[in-house]
Chain A
């Protein structure tokens, strides 16, 4: 995907002013946040969701700490079941491999279920350039595709920035059908259109929520059922996932499945959970004749052993963005790459270069709601702060900011001078307020006063008042 993270700050204004987006964000927040909270309450009636998060973290850490071993085991077991395992270092290698497979099997149309790796690699463009028609079959992704290949604005609800009206218009225009306004009518229309593609495509491309090492299985967690069509109807099934998506055993998978749907949508379990192992066997009635795994690095392996290793625990549930006050206020597009919200603000600079996403690690109040809801306990605010430290260490912060911080930090270590500076500062602010209890425009911090007032200081510093009070005490004591 063409990256626009560098324009984060510039795009905020339009997002705040977008009435439709703001309405959609409000609805989505209500749904995601309330439904997760309810799911956790329900779980806690008989279980302990905190203990479950600990277990989830432990499983993910066990994998990440010995990733090479688990990957080899997965490769062995997947190969033993007739699948092919390929490796891609970056987006270009993903595209080359997929296009190569398509050519090998004379594919003219590829149906896709949701895959964020495909977004990382900009796979659809590569397929089109190679003469293969990609068709997104996840309803949200399909809407984005027919809307002129818009990027997703959420990792599990890619089209949450669009309203029903927009989709109704889009369907009428694209499908050349009478405009429909009821959701069931619209989804029915999408099903009818997509059905033709399901039966005619020669290749299916899916992501993978988990790869199970002990059995060589890919697990797909979906709500629409399109994933099953994509992975079973065409003669070739290509799975594209990050190398970190491994879990050791089916038992571990079941633990993570207690966490994933509850954290993502508040569901106890998603509508569909598919476990796909190997290509169609001699006695199987259906399934793909060829199954290929493309396991992708694209920046992940570099995080091993680094202070960002815990980020590889991520199971892509979206809870961090659903609960993020910043995401809730501007939506996903402003983040400018594949992954928005707190996890995106960590992954984008790590995967695409710190200098390409300078604002993202700072676009957080560090409120830690993301850390609290993360099903695998990734310390997201700490990682964002560490990225800020990396920016400083690499000299990527603006000079004015560096200068101001350095002067302030020096001053704060000279108590006498600091006392004088604050004494003057507080009088200046008091004068600015002009007898009122607030300052409407602050030259030094226009960012603050553009959208709110700045409460005026009381007039003197605590230090001055306290010294005066102690002085009075001392005088009184001497007088006695």
Chain B
């Protein structure tokens, strides 16, 4: 099974370990992982900023680079949703590209969804002595139905205990450009999320989208919390240290 990894621009820039953890997980499950080397960004920042032209240009680039594999997997619900549910709508008047976008949409998966529901993995390489609490990122949760998948997988990590936080489904306040345009509101919402994270009393906050994780980690540190670790679910499942 040939699986193309969409690394995501944030992982490329900020946290390569998430990309390597994803490769490790997919390979452990028997996939042949290809990382198309010309990939950059899925175009979601342009899409959400209201720049359809730029979003469509980046969509065409990404589609061309990622079609032709059995599956496309991204360690982010937000980027996966852009490719799956965002792309086809960008080509309402372009039948040929719409067809290509729709074919790709059928092959795109968020990482934990792919591991749990397509590969149906039974065991994961990671080991973790401690407790984690899982933040449900909005797009993954409400657009792709990512809820049970990461928890099922985390329960297979030896030594790991999941402690649920209150309101794990509430937005952390990131919202892409929102976090900079309305930084004060964004940080205030993040503060509420952090209070809930701390209520869980877990060693680690785990999530599936790096943007949210950076937002929460940044707020935890600013609040003086130096002990709660923040890890991407791929890192925990693969046993890859950041």
Contact = CB atoms under 8 A, between A and B. Distances in A.
Contacts of A372: 142
B173 A325 contact: yes
A476 to B, nearest CB: 17
Contacts of B17: 458
A457 B170 CA distance: 26
B181 A447 contact: yes
Given A408-B45, A409-B46, A462 B11 contact: yes
A448 B50 contact: no
A465 B183 contact: no
Nearest to A460: B16
Contacts of B188: 16, 329, 451
Contact of B58 (A412, A422, A453): A412
B120 interface: no
A368 B139 contact: yes
Interface string B211-222: 000110111011
Given A9-B182, A362-B181, A448-B183, A385 B37 contact: no
A385 B189 contact: no
Nearest to A464: B16
B47 interface: yes
B142 A452 contact: no
Interface in A381-419: 385, 387-392, 397, 401, 405-406, 408-409, 412-413, 415, 418
Most buried by A among B11, B178, B219: B178
A405 B181 contact: no
A369 interface: yes
A464 B196 CA distance: 37
Contacts of B41: 412
Given A330-B185, A365-B171, A409-B57, A390 B218 contact: no
A330 B182 CA distance: 12
Contacts of A79: none
Given A12-B184, A446-B183, A451-B219, A457 B175 contact: no
B51 A405 contact: yes
B1 to A, nearest CB: 20
Interface of B: 7, 9, 11-17, 19-20, 35, 37-41, 43, 45-52, 54, 57-58, 61, 138-139, 142-143, 169-171, 173-192, 214-215, 217-219, 221-222, 230, 242
